[in-house]
Amino acid sequence: MKYNIKQFLITIMCLLALFLLCYFINLQNSTNTISLSSVLDEEVQQTVLEPKELFLETWSLIKTNYWDNDLNEQNWNRWKRRYVKEIKTENDAYVAINTMLASLNDPYSRFLNPNEFVEQNNSIDSKIYGIGINIASVSGKIYIINVIKGAPADIAGLKPADMILKINGNDIKGDSIFETANYIKDAKSGLVDIVVLRNNVKINKKIKRAEIKVKTVESEIIDKEIGYIRISSFISSETPVEFIDALNKVQDTQALILDLRGNTGGLFQNAVFIANMFLEKGDIVRVIGRGGYDSFYTAENKEYVYEKPLVVLVDGESASASEIVSAALKDNKRAIIVGTKTYGKGVVQKVYNMPNNTGMNLTIARYLTPNGIDINKKGIEPDYRVEITDDDYKNNNDAQLNFAKNILQDEIERSKIAGVH
């Protein structure tokens, strides 16, 4: 019987909303600040301040809400003394704010100008401007692992397993997937000049970026008895709905592979939601806020829990929300983790609406796995380490997926034998 998606989601999301509300109220009270409603946030964003006032507003927000009371062991007043009399223009304010944030040595806390803030909100709404490819890094080389059907890259003829050599004249050898993505994002006039290698032949394409409505969850049935669900990102507000739909499509299989490779994270509540789907009980994640405020997120009572054998695929780009899910399932011995060590992002950001239509992502907490492990800058070790080589990519051989299938096929056979007896 299929799950009642609407009713189920309302129940679970209400529980998550209550969880998050309680957490942030306690966190804000512990730091003597006020939690603003979304309506007030919108009013704040539309407020127009002089450049100097925008700087001071940002300075104060960081000082009051950043997770580390010591602000990376520095006297925060020094930034006010350094800049407050020097700021004349909007660009002056941006430079001062970005320099101030850089002093935290925290790559995840960043100021967003109006264009960047709109772009981030579009991602949450599952709308992106790009060419429609997912990429992965293997031994310093960037490969296309998926092309979104109907997207500009698909129309131009790019294919999975193409190795990217250049973007807009930039040699990307040794670059990360984040740097590579930025070349596409920063393409002048939205035209992406890309060179790929396919079967030892260089192919040059000029592709116009476009708005792409992205589904973050895909599913299929492989080998008849094994379901496969891939979550490409946790950033979309639609991810929970898409995940329930995907689970419906594979519900008649005997086991499941959850693929989080290349998933660099997204919304915290989406990670808690997905992990909760697989756990009848137990902790999902432990969040430690400013001043040592400590909160556990645990599996909630619900009508449905997926209880069949489960393998989770991860790699070096699996980060943040992906790691929350992977760690929760690993520590609760609910899934077998296959692949390579994850990225290692163990901190949580809150998105703040700021005056002048700007915004800021600010680290407000760090998290530990259910077993109390801090994975920040360390990552999660898989239960079975399986590498994908250059030859695997060239031959379109997914060694990690094949390993996962073998594990689950053995589990299915054991279950059948146990059933006979």
Q: Tokens 């589990």 identify what position?
A: 411
Q: What phi, psi does 54 have (nearest 5°)? A: -65, -40
At 68, is the secondary structure helix, strand, or coil? coil
Cβ atoms within 10 Å of 344's Cβ, excluding its own: 17
Element (H, E) at 34: none
Nearest-10 crossing angle of helices 321-331, 268-278? 30
Answer yes or no: 70 catalytic: no
Which one of the listed residues 233, 322, 326, 345 is annotated catalytic?
Answer: 345
Catalytic choice (318, 331, 398, 405) = 331
Q: Are 398 and 392 in contact (CB under 8 A)?
A: yes
Choosing from 219, 320, 322, 326, the catalytic residue is 320
Structure tokens at 223: 């080998």
Place of tokens 């600010």: 362
Active site residue 320: yes
Q: Which of 317, 341, 323, 315 lies closest to 178, judged by CA?
A: 317
Q: Give which of 409, 385, 354 is closest to 48, Cα–Cα.
A: 354
Q: What CA–CA distance (Å, rounded) separates 86 from 78?
A: 13
**How far is Cα 326 from Cα 383, in angstroms, rounded to an integer?**
11
Residue 330, sorted as left (phi over 0), alpha (psi -120 to 50) or beta, turns out to be alpha
Where do the H-state alpha helices sit in 280-380? 321-331
Helix (H) or strand (E) holding 141: strand 141-147
* Dist CA 55 CA 205 (whole Å): 43
Sign of CA dihedral 28, 29, 33, 38: positive
Question: Using an 8 Å Cβ cutoff, are 197 and 162 in contact?
Answer: yes
331: annotated active-site residue = yes
Separation of alpha carbons 148 and 132, rounded Å: 5
Query: Catalytic positions, please?
Result: 320, 331, 345
